[in-house]
Structure 1
Amino acid sequence: MRALLQRVSEAEVTVDGESIGRCGAGLMILVCAMQGDTEVAAERLAGKVARLRIFRDEEGRMNRSVLDIGGGALVVSQFTLAADTSRGNRPGFSTAAAPEEGRRLYEHFAGALAALGVPVETGQFAGDMRVRLVNDGPVTIWMES
């Protein structure tokens, strides 16, 4: 699985003008299941995300996790993280998991993150979403399982 994490002071996703997910201080996580990914990969990624020390401690160092700060996560599916831009000008997405498998693994990742104690809200799988966030830092991290 692939994930793009952004440390945020707030984030929100809307569909048709309606807010369907939001978080305050914590993480905005864009997630893509790749062909061959498994539930184990989703759980491993969720564990790494929950324990990733990218939040400031009392001395201003990135030394605390989202769990340490009591932060939340907004998890949004984004198959375009599978983009292959090695040839031509149009990205290819053939390495992304099939939609049914992508949905299952996306939901499994969100559930695994919540099971670790991170309050999780989600976007709408395959939905036409609008995402608004305030990146804190800015801090943006690319992760793969």
Structure 2
Amino acid sequence: MTSTPTAAVSVTGRRTTGAAARRRAERVAYDAYLAQCASRQLLDRISDKWVTLVLCALDEDGPSRYSALARRIAGVSQKMLTQTLRSLERDGLVDRAVEPTVPVTVEYTLTTLGASLVDVVHSFKQWAEHHVPQIVEARAVYDLR
């Protein structure tokens, strides 16, 4: 059962809502099954292969420069790596630090929020690496039908 915020009447005659009531009303129940839900958009983002590999690389290698990440993640284009790093920075999962050296040095690190996601992402990566033979076999059986 949900309650509606109680409103008081101010001296001007307007209805006002207390801060606690506004906070309760602003709490949103996220449901990833709904198309426009923010949690669904986040799931889409973190399930991307480049996001998974960037987060794992930063966790395993520590703070890294762009070129080190590009070498570590075989097959990622410059455009995709740049877009992935920007989206991770925007979401607060990766921090970008610029050092005013000549030439400029840019280093990427996991934020606390990003580090809290790494265990889940590593699990995805390890599951994929471990189950490749079964998946290849299942695909072959399916394709023979």
If each structure's helix is expressed as a fraction of its own residues, which one has the higher value?
2
Structure with the bigger RCO (C-alpha within 8 Å, sep 6+) is: 1
**Do the structures match in fold with TM over 0.5?**
no
Larger radius of gyration: 2
TM-score, scaled relative to structure 1? 0.24
Q: TM-score, normalised by structure 2?
A: 0.24
